[in-house]
Structure 1
Amino acid sequence: MAFPGRPRALAAHAFSPHDAVLGAAARYFGRRRFLTVTAAAAALAFSTNLPARGAAAAPELDAARLTDDPFTLGVASGDPLPDSVLLWTRLAPEPFAADGGLGEQRVAVEWEVALDESFAVRVRTGTATAYPEYSHSLHVEVQGLDPATVYYYRFRTGGFISPVGRTRTAPAADTDAASLRLAAVACQAYQDGYYTVHKHLAEEDVDVVFHLGDYLYEYAVNAAGGERRYTDITLPDVFDRETMTLADYRLRYALYKSDKDLQAAHAAHPFVVAWDDHETENNYAGAVPENDVPQSEFLVRRAAAYRAYWENQPLRSAQLPQGPDAQLYRRLHWGTLAQFDILDTRQYRSDQAYDDRPHAPGAESDDPARTITGAAQERWLLDGWKSSGALWNVMPQQVTFSQRKFDLTAEARMSMDAWDGYRASRNRVVAGAKAAGVDNWLVLTGDVHVAYAFDIKENFDDPDSRTLGTELTCTSVASGKDGAEKPDNWDTYMKANPHLRFYNGKRGFARVELGRQNARVDFKTVSAVTRPGAALTTAASFVTEAGAPGLKPA
């Protein structure tokens, strides 16, 4: 255990705007970029990332003068390492005001990490500064912690103390951890219902939560909060429009993070987050927007969306965007038990084929030059598998990886937004997994607002071909409203896709336990999200054995 005064590594790094601003322009324009845009467009997009005024110029607030609780958006932790975890909060005494109620002032905030919830045994403490240029968000990278240890944390400023968060570090790299319990969630349109799923998730005994995208939706939210009609709220008009600007995205995160059930889930578990499309705009592809607007204009919007995403998530400084670019793909480990290769299938992809309509694969979608990951990320993934010593290689990502036919006809339509629209990309990844000898491959997926369990086949059109791994799709937290256990297309999908082992259309999450012998998934669902208080049930459970891929009922 790490106690105060014990010589350890640097206790923490609280991110400062100076780290990004000094020399950032030179780094941005000097490095080779995947996207090709005009210098003017790049400069315009990059300007979204620069402080309106120098960080040092912001006056410091006398925290003793705070009269309202600044911790209205809760606390969070993320990306656990064996000796480190990232702590997050964002100060906003007036969360639905554009400046959060703090204006252009910087605020000093104390943070504490302890072994107990009462903070009798504190192991790390420090002070960080919340800058207005970063919407008064804090990203404290606490270091010098012990592996495989539960910690509690909190923040304080003036006379206010934040809620207490609970987090944990990963096991040491060479530890043969016996098990890991994780949950996977995605797609939480605020206007589609209550976060009952998050309320239950906060009570689950899991080590880490993977959020697989669509944390935020860009669509307008009316004064009644959409389907949240049983809550006595009247939202300001600022939410009743699509998010376009940095101010819009920041305010929308404030709305989402004001939800107490979402706050509870973040406070209970460390999160590992990755975006999909709605954090920016529906079904955008790289630099190509959904709608017919100039690319330069869209990249400004993307820069604003990426900036607000980082500000509002438990992400390290390595993920800080530079203009319209951010490296969100990254790798985490859980001892020798699991390697997690977190993908970004949105930022680097080719434009969707066939105008992004459901379509049978053809010459356009199967062009070998097409990619859903980009060349650099694809190499990173395959090289990581080659060097992996983990028992389970887990690939958290966004859109359906396995083949998913929509029809029973010979020329069945498929989604051009999922990996079916990028089959050359999928073939290269499958070949890479086989070449690297990845025996226990697990793909975690969000996006589609339903729960799926797939056997990943060597040849999806041959049910008797070798099973290479397992894909688990976690359904949605709220998007799609209540849903149905058997959607109207249930029979068609189950017949057209014999490798699809489970399909359920209710809201919920996937709970996965990785062990040395097998992995078990429990698909957790609730009966409704358009009314609060629904109970949690287990819709189905499966296991896949280590060394023998293929799903079996538990």
Structure 2
Amino acid sequence: MAIFTSSRRHFVGGLVAAPFILPAAGRAQLPFADYPFTLGVAAGDAQADGFVIWTRLAPDPLDPHGGMPMAEVPVDWEVAEDEHFRTIAAKGTEKAWPELAHSVHVEVTGLKPGRPYWYRFRCAGERTFAGRATTLPAPGSRVDRVRFAAIGCQHFEAGYYTAYRHAAEDAPDFMFHYGDYIYEYSPGFVLDAFDRPIEAVRRYATREPFSLDDYRVRYAQTTTDADLQAARAAAPWYCTYDDHEVQNNWVSEWAQDGTPPETFLLRRRAAFQAWYEHMPVRRSSFPDAQGVAHMRRRVDIGDLIRLHMPNTRLYRSDQPCGDGFKPLCAEASAATQQVLGKAQESWLEEGFTSSSQHWQGVAQQVMMAPIDRRTPDYPNAQPTYNMDSWAAYPGPRERILALFDRHKGGNVVVVTGDEHQNWAIDLQRDGRTVASEFVSTSITSGGDGHDLRPGNEEIMRDNPFLHWTNDRRGYLLSDITRDAWTGHFRVVDAITRRDAPIATAARWAVQSGQAGLVSA
């Protein structure tokens, strides 16, 4: 798969000045009060013969119904082999239904493998800007290089999405969104890494969401950001959800605040529907009769990498020991504890066993490494762990590490989000490194941050399998070749001002056939 070239950078740059200034028919003839494509376009879930393309009609995006009439509206779409749309590869019409907030999900098929396409939508004389997406290489074909960005944790009020603009300009073949697309917090509830209030850079328009209308407005306001729209239009996304799409630290049917499960599930149903409506995902993620948006994926990129994307929220046991940062209690070792659930563990094992790819990647939501969190802020006598991470579930974690350990080809890398910090870690079993983990920081959550978070000197000292950590905002860029998987930790020095430059804080790599990270 070819890495995108400078022509894409020109395309992305063209979105900066005026993302919504497009040719249009007279608005007096429209059924809308204003331009309907205020939320831009996106592509996702790429396969060798196509991908999903997405948009949503929302002339008034902060209205619960987007300013739309309560009726279905036809939307035309087209996919082209060139950015000027001279050679149309596929086209059609899809209805935007009020039941789905007039969102449109088109599963485009019949395209050629391993090449870029451009797509756009039209409705009532208006059209979107063009997005770009690349199909995956043909199954089993030789692939020598792929690049993807791991992104997420994007609290709207905490800062500007400058890092998204840079991620688009880094020209990844695709992006993995590890969750926390929205934050469900009340307006003005913005905290730093130590849970201290910091100034909101911008404000949510509505209260903490509980209903479907609430969640729709929260997603819409987030998606109006032009830098985010540039990233969504630049490459196909593989979207997952973590906790803040519903409520902080929820798992399965359990709310963080003790809401009875039967009541919490009403909120979760609304949140899942709004997530589906705003993500470029396939019909397989459509909420089922119980309102559950099932999300797990497996992607083969030729013979180079198989990327597994499990769900670590939906099937997990409630956080043991009362959640928080604390020593393990007896509950953590209960035989019934689950992170992935039995069916998903079997799915992951089958995926490893049947793969002939050179690399195995696991792109998921919460840290796998058992980091001892003791610092001056957590001065416990015993090792202290994040109860909302794999460290709090030693049984399930041991089963996953055993899977990595027995994989015939080695070359296992885990990519994670959630932590709002960068981490470069070796995953060890019985004192041996069986995989490595790149933890990507947040886009904005946690504020501007520090090069090294205060107190993390102790964490570096107490966790010898931890090679490096950093507390700036940004994303992880993975360059994967047959020789190495290299993680570029891309950071900005501030998200409280616009247009901060991007820099690479560190590079760490796993060499093919050699366990453990090395500085690159």
1:70 to 16, 23, 36: 36
Query: Quick one: which of 181, 186, 198 aligns to 2:147?
Result: 181
1:242 to 193, 203, 208: 208
CA distance in 2, matches of 1:223, 1:446: 21
Structure 1 residue 64 displacement after superposition: 4.4
The root-mean-square deviation of aligned C-alpha atoms, in Å, is 1.8
Post-superposition offset of 1:223: 12
Q: Secondary structure at the match of 1:483?
A: coil
1:263 maps to: 229
Instruction: Name 1:111's counterpart in structure 2.
Output: 77
Matched residues in 2 for 1:65 and 1:410: separation?
Answer: 66
Would the aligned equivalents of 1:458 and 1:468 in 2 still touch at CA under 8 Å? yes
Contact 1:78–1:87 (Cα < 8 Å) also in 2: yes
1:431 maps to a residue whose letter is A
CA gap of 1:540–1:235, structure 2 versus 1, over 3 A, is closer
1:193 has 2:159 as partner: yes
Q: Runs of 4 or more off by more than 3 Å in structure 1?
A: 62-67, 226-229
Determine the structure 2 residue equivalent to 1:291. 257
Q: Does the CA contact (< 8 Å) of 2:273 and 2:287 recur in 1? A: yes
| Unaligned residue ranges in structure 2 (runs of 5+) | 1-27, 191-197
Give, in angstroms, the shift of residue 222 of structure 1. Answer: 5.0
- Structure 2 letter corresponding to 1:252: R
> Retained in 2: the 8 A contact 1:165–1:268?
yes
Matched-pair identity in %: 39
The reply to whether residue 386 of structure 1 matches residue 357 of structure 2 is no
2:332 alignment partner, SS class: coil
> Which of 421, 445, 458 is equivalent to 1:492?
458
CA deviations over 1:393-430 (Å, ceiling 9, x no partner)? 11111111011001287621111110011110010111
Q: Do residues 474 (structure 1) and 440 (structure 2) align?
A: yes
Secondary structure class of the residue paired with 1:549: coil
- Distance in 1 (alpha carbons) for counterparts of 2:468 and 2:109: 42
Separation of aligned partners in 1, 2:71 and 2:199: 37
Q: Is the 8 A contact 1:382 1:433 kept in 2?
A: no
Cα deviations by residue, 1:239-269 (Å, 9 ceiling, x for unpaired): 1x11101111111000100000000000111
**Equivalence for 1:351:** 318
2:492 to 526, 544, 549: 526
TM-score after normalising by structure 1: 0.84
Name 2:397's counterpart in structure 1.
Answer: 426
Counterpart residue number, 1:8: none
Aligned match for 2:385, one of 398, 409, 414: 414
Distance across 2 between alignment mates of 1:281 and 1:116: 42
Secondary structure of 2:515's aligned partner: strand
Q: Are the counterparts in 2 of residues 202 and 268 from structure 1 also a CA contact under 8 Å?
A: yes
Please name the residue that 1:46 is paired with. none
Alpha-carbon shift at residue 103 of structure 1 (Å): 2.4
State the Cα distance separating 1:433 from its structure 2 match.
2.2
What are the Cα deviations for residues 71-90 of structure 1, in whole angstroms up to 9, with x where unaligned? 00010000110001010111
Confirm or deny that 1:88 pairs with 2:54.
yes
1:397 aligned to 2:364? yes
| 3-state SS of paired residue (1:321) | coil
2:244 is aligned with 1:273: no
On the 8 A contact 2:215/2:274 being kept in 1, the answer is yes
Aligned to 1:370, which of 333, 337, 349? 337
Q: 2: distance between equivalents of 1:502 and 1:273?
A: 27
Instruction: Write the distance in 1 (CA, Å) between the matches of 2:323 and 2:200.
Output: 32
Q: Does 1:509 align with 2:480?
A: no
| SS in structure 2 of the partner of residue 253 of structure 1 | helix
Q: Does 1:202 align with 2:173?
A: no
The CA deviation string for residues 58-102 of structure 1, in whole angstroms up to 9 with x for no partner, is xxxx98444521100010000110001010111101101111111
1:426-457 residue CA offsets vs partner (Å, 9 max, x unmatched): 10111122233251111110001000010111
Q: Is the 8 Å Cα contact of residues 372 and 459 (structure 2) preserved in structure 1?
A: yes
1:335 paired to 2:302: yes
Counterpart-to-counterpart distance in 2, 1:291 and 1:184 = 30
Paired amino acid for 2:254 = V
**2:45 aligned to which of 79, 87, 93:** 79
Kept after mapping to 1: 8 A contact 2:418/2:441: yes
1:156 partner SS: strand
Whole-angstrom distance in 2 between the partners of 1:368 and 1:72: 49
Q: Count how many residue pairs are aligned between Structure 1 and Structure 2.
A: 481
Bigger Cα displacement from structure 2, 352-361 vs 252-261: 352-361
2-structure distance, mates of 1:331, 1:401 = 19
Per the TM alignment, residue 496 of structure 1 is displaced from its structure 2 partner at its CA by: 1.0
Q: Which segments of 5 or more consecutive residues in structure 1 lack a partner in the other structure?
A: 1-61, 460-464
Partner of 1:326: 293
